Each structure stands twice: as structure tokens, then as C-alpha cells.
Amino acid sequence: MNPPGLPLRRGDTGAGVRDLHRRLAAAGFTDVGPPEVFDETTERTLRAFQAARRLVEDGICGRQTWSALVDAHFQLGDRMLYLRSPMTRGDDVADLQLRLGNLGFDAGWLDGIFGPDTEAAVRDFQHNQGLNADGTVGRATVAALDRLAGRVVGAKTIAEVHQTETLRRHVGVEGRRILLGETGGLPAVVNSLARLLQLDGATVLTLHHPDLSSHAQIANSWSGDAYVGVTLATDDFWVAYFQTEGFTSNGGRLLARYCTDKIEPVLNNEFPATGMRLPILRETRMTAVWCRVGPAPVVVERTEAFAKALRDAVIDWCVGPQPQ
């Protein structure tokens, strides 16, 4: 549940700020300032949390930062995990998926959501360990995971292996299913990019909606090969791909690098490829990048050139060398 008054920022007061302080402290960021005042101390601590979570470091608690705070509430073993509706989310689920993947059990994408793939992997692990294979993660299952911790340091997760195999099987743009998204402000870029990719033989779906969770849901149900999202910003420009502790989307990292190479000369600015844990990247179970670009006058003035640069990046990703 979201606190009242999102987004929260310096100068705000009240119950929402108190709840923000409580969740920051629970996540280990205890220097938050007066209980119901969002002051300079709160902003500094919130930026530290955002940096640790690979989020946009703007010192503002919007929906994405709040979601990360909620996810950070539990560690593996703090609560029972099982398949339910709505599905359980959190850092404890992501930790479970990472551990299972490192041990060779296919828990699916490392999205921190306890879905059918994760339950199936839990059952397989429990059966392998001689436990009751009920798909519920309780004390016995966590203890078995703890006993095996550290045995596969540096190994690729099953999710990484699957992504690499998928990329190697399909080389070229013909028939690729590409999703393009924006949350408002750049429809012309997305529509121009869609036309270019369709001319190249790709099947393209465009998403113009402010809710990025809906982007992820549609992308997953559509079974796309890649997602490219764009948004306008006044500063702190980058091209982000999904990266979290123990897992990197290698397909996303490669596509982000191609995007960086192509759009920097067009927009005459730096857009570093950056590993992040933005929900749109974590929840989209495919190669995905999120491009934070600006300044707005330059992007708008060079809409067609920018769209062509992104098209060239996608083409290079489709036909170029794939991750090892």
C-alpha cells in the first residue's frame, strides 16, 4: 500500500513521511531526521538507499522508490513463501530465486515475484534435498539453502543461461517481437522508431502509458524479444539495463551499449550504459533497456534522428555478437 501524498520530497510532513522513515530504518538506513519531517537528512539518506538499490538517485520518494522500500522489508526466512494471489513480492523472493538459479533450479526471471516458475523450482529443490516437496519455503527449505550457500560462487544462474541461449538461437531482425514504450512526452520518437523497425521486418508493439507496471505485464504476456523504453529528463541521463546482486541481463547490457554508442552523437551528450534495478527492467522478463534522455528541446528537435539512432542500435543488437 502506498503512503499518502506520493511523491514525497524535502519539505513534506505528516504520516507519509513517518512511514517513509520507518521503512528506511527497517532497510538499514537509520539516519532519517525528525520523525514526521522530510528534511535534508531524509533526502541524503533516501539518495543513499536509491544508490544501494540501483534506482534513480533523485532524493524523491516516488512509486518506484516506495516499491523498493516495500520489497526491502523481508529477508529470506522472515516469512513463509508460497504461491498465492496476488503473488508475493520482495527481496526475500529475489534472494530465493538467485540461490535456486545458482544451484541449477530454474526459478525463472529474477524479478522478486513468487510465481509458478519459482514454485516449481522450489518443489524440485525440495525433492532433491529429501524434503516435503510442497512448494512452500519454510524453515527447513531455508536451512537446506543455507547449507548449500557458497558452493557455486561465480556461476551463471539458470536465467542467465536461458537468456544467452535465446539470443544465440535468433540472429537478425526479421520476425523479432520488439516492444517500445514511453510514459508521456515522447510519442513521436516511439512511433517513428516503430515504423523504422517494421520496415526492417520486426513485429512491433508500442506502449504509451504512464504506468510502467502495465508495460511489463503487456510485454510479458506478448512474449516479446526486447523492450526499449524512453523518457525525458532534465539531468542524470543514462541508458539502463537490469542488474542486481548476483545477476546481470547480458542481453540488456549489450543493447544498452549499442544505444549509448548510437544516440550520444545525435543528442550531443553522454548517456552511459548503467546497470539498475528499476521495476520496469526487473519485471520485464526479456532483454530490456530504459533510456533517460534530454535535454527536452534537443530531443524534440532531433526526433527523427534520435529514432533512427535507436533503430540502428536495435539492429546491431539483433545481428551483432551475442553475450558469451
Between CA 42 and CA 111 the distance in angstroms is 28
4 within a domain of the structure (yes/no): no
Identify whether 9 is part of a domain: no
Pairing of strands 287-293, 238-244: antiparallel
Last residue of a domain, one of 109, 128, 153: 153
Number of domains in the chain: 3
7: in domain: no
Query: Which of the residue ranges 28-42, 93-107, 154-168, 175-189 would you say has the lowest mean pLDDT?
Result: 154-168
Q: What is the 3-state secondary structure (H, E, C) of the chain?
A: CCCCCCCECCCCECHHHHHHHHHHHHCCCCCCCCCCECCHHHHHHHHHHHHHCCCCCCCCECHHHHHHHHHCCCCCCCCCECCCCCCCECHHHHHHHHHHHHCCCCCCCCCCECCHHHHHHHHHHHHHCCCCCCCCECHHHHHHHHHHCCCCCCCCCHHHHHHHHHHHHCCCCCCCEEEEEECCCCHHHHHHHHHHHHHCCCEEEEEECCCHHHHHHHHHHHCCCEEEEEEECCCCCEEEEEEECCEECHHHHHHHHHHHHHHHHHHCCCCCEEEECCHHHHHCCCEEEEEEECCHHHHHHCHHHHHHHHHHHHHHHHHCCCCC
Is the same domain home to 182 and 237? yes
Residue 77 forms part of a structural domain: no
pLDDT at residue 153, rounded to an integer: 47
Structural domain span for residue 59? 15-71
Distance CA 102, CA 38 (A): 40
pLDDT in tens, 270-311: 999 999 999 899 999 999 999 999 999 999 999 999 999 999
Please give the pLDDT value at position 156: 66
pLDDT tens readout for residues 58-98: 999 998 899 899 999 899 999 999 999 999 999 999 999 99
Q: Which of 153, 185, 206 is the last residue of a domain?
A: 153
In this model, does residue 41 exceed pLDDT 90?
yes
Residues 135 and 61 in one domain: no
Residue 191 grid coordinates? 512511433
